[in-house]
Amino acid sequence: MKNVLSAFRSDVSRILVVDVLPGGLLIYPYYRWVVSSYPALAAFVGASAFARVVALIALAAVVGILLENVASRVEYELDRKAGRSEKEWFDYLCLAFRVEPLGQEYARELVMRMKFELATAVALVVALPGTWLALLPRSSVMACVFVSIAMLVISSWLFNEAKSSGEVLNKIRKRLLEEAKVPPEHPNSSS
């Protein structure tokens, strides 16, 4: 039972970190703009706080899944530009361990972090117009420029972190592949 709960917690954490959080970052400024621009919609949305929260979390998850797809494409392009081998990638995907090495768990953690970094970097850029729409009626242009610069700096930093995560992940995968190679059995050995 403990393994089932642990796996469930791991899956929920992954969904929250990789999908819901970046999706929420992207939709929030647009949500604020729509609600402030359309009073009738604001009244409808404000009628039930529970329904609003559930709808926003569901929308954030859906948008987050789309962001994760975009992030996967960005990851593929980063790998391609870095000259990483597709054969090596597919060989890694075929690995099966009797006893999972510690490096495999670390690789899994790095994948989740890199997906978060890429999805959030994309989300922040796509959220820029919504941020302007949400802020401009209440804030100065300078405030909008400052927030935009901050969002772009954070996005750029996350993108660079994702590149670094990808490089470390590639080294770990290579090492796991090397260690997983089993020498062929000698024809004279007895079973």
Question: What span, in angstroms and rounded, lies between the C-alpha atoms of 7 and 141?
Answer: 47
| Confidence category of residue 24, pLDDT binned at 50, 70, 90 | very high
pLDDT of 145: 94
As a whole number, mean pLDDT of residues 35-53 equals 81
Q: In sequence order, which residues have a C-beta less than 8 Å from that of residue 14 and are 6 or more positions away?
A: 112
| Confidence category of residue 4, pLDDT binned at 50, 70, 90 | low
Does the pLDDT of residue 100 top 60, yes or no? yes
Q: In sequence order, which residues have a C-beta less than 8 Å from that of residue 95 and are 6 or more positions away?
A: 176, 177, 180
As a whole number, mean pLDDT of residues 145-166 equals 95
**HEC secondary structure over the chain:** CHHHHHHHHHHHHHHHHHHHHHHHHHHHHHHHHHHHHCHHHHHHHHCCHHHHHHHHHHHHHHHHHHHHHHHHHHHHHHHHHCCCCHHHHHHHHCCCCCCCCHHHHHHHHHHHHHHHHHHHHHHHHHCHHHHHHHHCCCCCHHHHHHHHHHHHHHHHHHHHHHHHHHHHHHHHHHHHHHHHCCCCCCCCCCC
Does the pLDDT of residue 3 top 70, yes or no? no
Range with the poorest average pLDDT among 12-16, 84-88, 169-173: 84-88
The Cα-based distances of 137 to 37, 130, 133 in angstroms read 10, 12, 7
Phi, psi of 127 (to 5 degrees): -80, -10
Q: What is the mean pLDDT of the chain?
A: 85
Does the pLDDT of residue 187 top 70, yes or no? no
As a whole number, mean pLDDT of residues 25-54 equals 85
As a whole number, mean pLDDT of residues 161-178 equals 89
| Confidence category of residue 76, pLDDT binned at 50, 70, 90 | confident
Query: pTM value?
Result: 0.81
pLDDT of 113: 92
